[in-house]
Structure 1
């Protein structure tokens, strides 16, 4: 079977907006993941299909660039397609449009396959490899390379992992990590600046009962912040991220 692009339609809801009346980035990432789910379902390789065989999808990295945030009640279309394959890494791209085809944002992502019993990453199973990758559009540059390390935390918060933070894989859902990273930023950044880009790497899982420590500090430029999320009990790094903020708002 050849892969083909998927198209999903959403309307921004009131519980997904910030004080400006715009969709939050975690909400938009959730829409992108829902669109990916629908596309993989149609290809016969959805998370449910994998779970029946003892496997599951795991998001390893995502880089998002936003040009404009949709507002409450605005209808959007998310287009997504499998954009490439490298050894154990499967790449998937996204573009978000208005109903008038205005490009609001775009993202590229990296996915891995995990054994749900052993909680270990595995080689891509044959039934997934049999789906030929045929990008629907010109692929975005793959999310590769290391991110700058956070050297000195400017702010930090502790986040207990609670029941509603857990997803189908029985670990903290990736959009919650993104939310925690953003929530740790100074209030003046959240109020006065607009998030333009995020590059986030998911390194390890956290489960119910853990406590996650979210740290953030300034990057090499005034518009850049570096993020790190750690397990309080093991000191293991769970997430690393870089965010870029617009100074003109």
Structure 2
């Protein structure tokens, strides 16, 4: 990965991080998967947060942690194996609880391959309560934002699901540094719930997801799907032991 540093080390609102698409990032067509792009975006966001002194280590020292609440990713074209892409990201605002961050995925010629908008909050590790942004966000940027206002994603509708299409159990490799299921893993589970024949003949255009509760090691997770018209699907992941909905998502596909 390559970082873009200003010579005067000024605080930057907009952050650029370059990534090479590796063999483990692509599918059987040699195209990057959506989960791989989500990992790139997460890495760029963490690097930028560290630059702003609001990274993982900075918050952990205060007993706080970042939580991703919602995100929407739209892909126009998936990058190929060995292609170098740039993730451009910037915070676009905050309100009483939430912080907003946008992403643009660019190829080597600066053409837009996709965009994403995300909603985050900071949680106190001791009592699991959200903290107000003004209690930890004190940055004043020298640059102005291109965004006129943050994208405030709404809660997705409740899917009408009769039976779960798949179930699994959370394993060690699913956990993040906070010992919760990593947010990208849910996206992988949703994609994996489709038959292979469907995945061979369709391309994922857009995914929107709401993270509603945490899943922990050895939890059983049920994955359900409601088929809507025009290759639109609603998804719900639940924990059957206490009937808790862990996350809810919407995917939109096109025929290859």
**1:140-198: CA deviation from partner (whole Å, max 9, x where unpaired):** 76142232321135761112111111101110000001111111123332111100001
Within the candidate set 222, 245, 248, 1:240 is matched to 248
Within the candidate set 218, 222, 225, 1:213 is matched to 222
Cα pair distance change 1:180/1:143, threshold 3 Å: farther
- Unmatched segments (≥5 aa) in structure 2: 1-9
Conserved 8 A contact 1:5-1:135: no
Structure 1 match to 2:158:
149
Matches within 5 A, 1:181-220: 181-219=190-228
Cα pair distance change 1:180/1:227, threshold 3 Å: same
Runs of 4+ in 1 over 3 A off after TM superposition: 132-136
Secondary structure of the structure 2 residue equivalent to 1:180: helix
- Unmatched segments (≥5 aa) in structure 1: none
Structure 2 match to 1:106:
115
Q: TM-score if structure 1 supplies the norm length?
A: 0.93
How far off its partner does 1:125 sit?
Answer: 5.2
Structure 2 match to 1:51:
60
Conserved 8 A contact 1:108-1:140: no
In the alignment, the residues of structure 2 paired with residue 43 and residue 195 of structure 1 have an alpha-carbon distance, to the nearest angstrom, of 33
Structure 1 match to 2:233:
225
What is the count of residue pairs matched by the alignment?
246
When the two chains are superposed, the root-mean-square deviation of aligned CA atoms in Å is: 1.9
In the alignment, the residues of structure 1 paired with residue 26 and residue 212 of structure 2 have an alpha-carbon distance, to the nearest angstrom, of 28
Q: Does 1:9 align with 2:34?
A: no
Q: TM-score if structure 2 supplies the norm length?
A: 0.90
